[in-house]
Amino acid sequence: MQRLIGVEEELLIVDPHSGRTMPLGDRLVANAEASRTGPARSRASLQKVSPPAGIVLEHEAKLEQVESILPPLLALDEVGNAILAGRKLADLAARTLGARVAALATSVVPGSTHLTENPRYETIGELFGLTMKEQLTCGMHIHVTVRDKDEGVAVLDRIRPWLHVLLALSANSPMWAGIDTGYSSYRYQAWMRWPSAGSYDRFGSAQEYRQLVRALVATGVILDPGMVYFDARLSTHNPTVEIRAPDVCLDPEHAVGIAGLARALVNTAAAEAHAGRAPDPFPTSLMRLAMWSASRYGLNQTLWDPNSRGPREARVVVDALLRYVGAALRASGDEERVRAAVTSILESGTGSEVQCQTLSRTGSLAEVVAESIRRTHPGA
């Protein structure tokens, strides 16, 4: 089966001078939409922000964010071009408002957040109080097509031991509102405040998955299946597995590599399921600790190794993942580009390391944001 990849990138809207977030999401999306459907004058004035085919910008929960949603694509070259195009679309629309967009998973500079006007978001705000008020995180969600929900659940059960490696490779949120947190991905820590977020149990079948989702909603704690925030889940509206663990990546080529790894994981897991290989019986509590360690240290210390069942040097665990999905990478023709992206991450650092190095060099939070804008849009 040739599996398509769909990528959703959440991006921050920032002041290019101060680095502060700006509550312009509704206006930014409206500007981009006007370039397609507005009157002739609007189309002419916003011609530069006319979106590429299939790429749309959507509101997020906070006005300081915007989401770039790519269409399902087959080749990694297409995915890479679409990621760049989506970022450019959002940035050009932001520039019409005196802002820029940056692929930052948390806000570097302190500032307030503003809820997007939406009845669902307002209800979530009433239910979750400070958690929703402070919520401002940007992830990368990777959709990979599956044959049906049964195959999707079989995949979910088998990719659990490797999701923390994707988080470590993508880590891009060491700062939280002006504070150097000491974490490589503080986004993941903030996200874990939601009661339905994080690692998940093995399900066994699509029926058991559906029963669990219904039971979670029936508690009244969450509003609907859309609030089942597992690190990976079945999409509520597409025939896909949705991998939600990674931070949004600062470097677009790193995002391409992680998307390719995600597809290879899905292909490998599906092949194991069809061959009758049972998923590894790791407890969810162990998966939570593996994710915490990846969030805390990224690639700078050890990661939990599914093979040895213990901590090993991060590079060794990354190599283990590449070996595990190697056949799938070769079959899809993705191996060269994925390995190049992973090598770049290991040699030049994650987005988290870039932010910390910039802060150490300049002592300026605003310059961290400025450097992040430059890296979000290479060659611009």
The proportion of the chain whose per-residue pLDDT surpasses 90, expressed as a percent, equals: 92
The strand pairing partners of 275, in sequence order, are none
Query: Given pLDDT bands bounded at 50, 70 and 90, which one contains residue 36?
Result: low
* Whether the predicted model's global pTM rises above the 0.85 cut: yes
Residue 31 confidence (pLDDT): 87
Q: What is the DSSP letter of 368?
A: H
Cα–chain-centroid distance for residue 69? 12
CA distance 216 to 222: 7
Closest CA to 70 of 157, 136, 11, 126: 11
Q: Tell me the domain boundaries of the chain.
A: 5-376
Q: What is the pLDDT of residues 55-108, one digit of tens each?
A: 999 999 999 999 999 999 999 999 999 999 999 999 999 999 999 999 999 999
CA distance 357 to 26: 33
pLDDT at residue 140 tops 50: yes
Q: What is the pLDDT of residues 145-160, one digit of tens each?
A: 999 999 999 999 999 9
Task: Write down the mean pLDDT value for the chain.
Answer: 94
- Torsions phi, psi of 240, nearest 5? -140, 160
Concatenated DSSP letters for 24-67?
-HHHHHHHHHHHHHS-HHHHHHTGGGPPPTT-EEE--SBTTEEE
Q: What is the pLDDT of residues 288-322, one digit of tens each?
A: 999 999 999 999 999 999 999 999 999 999 999 99
Are 219 and 309 spatial neighbours (Cβ–Cβ below 8 Å)?
Answer: no
Are 144 and 5 spatial neighbours (Cβ–Cβ below 8 Å)?
Answer: yes
- Per-residue CA distances from 195 to 133, 201, 219, 283, 349 (Å): 15, 15, 11, 18, 32
The strand pairing partners of 56, in sequence order, are 69
CATH for 5-376, options being 3.30.230.10, 3.90.1150.10, 3.30.590.20, 3.40.50.300:
3.30.590.20
Query: What burial letters (b/e) apply to 298-315, b meaning 16+ CB within 10 Å?
Result: bbeebbbbbeeeeeeebe
- Torsions phi, psi of 302, nearest 5? -105, 160
- Torsions phi, psi of 23, nearest 5? -80, 70
Are 98 and 122 spatial neighbours (Cβ–Cβ below 8 Å)?
Answer: no
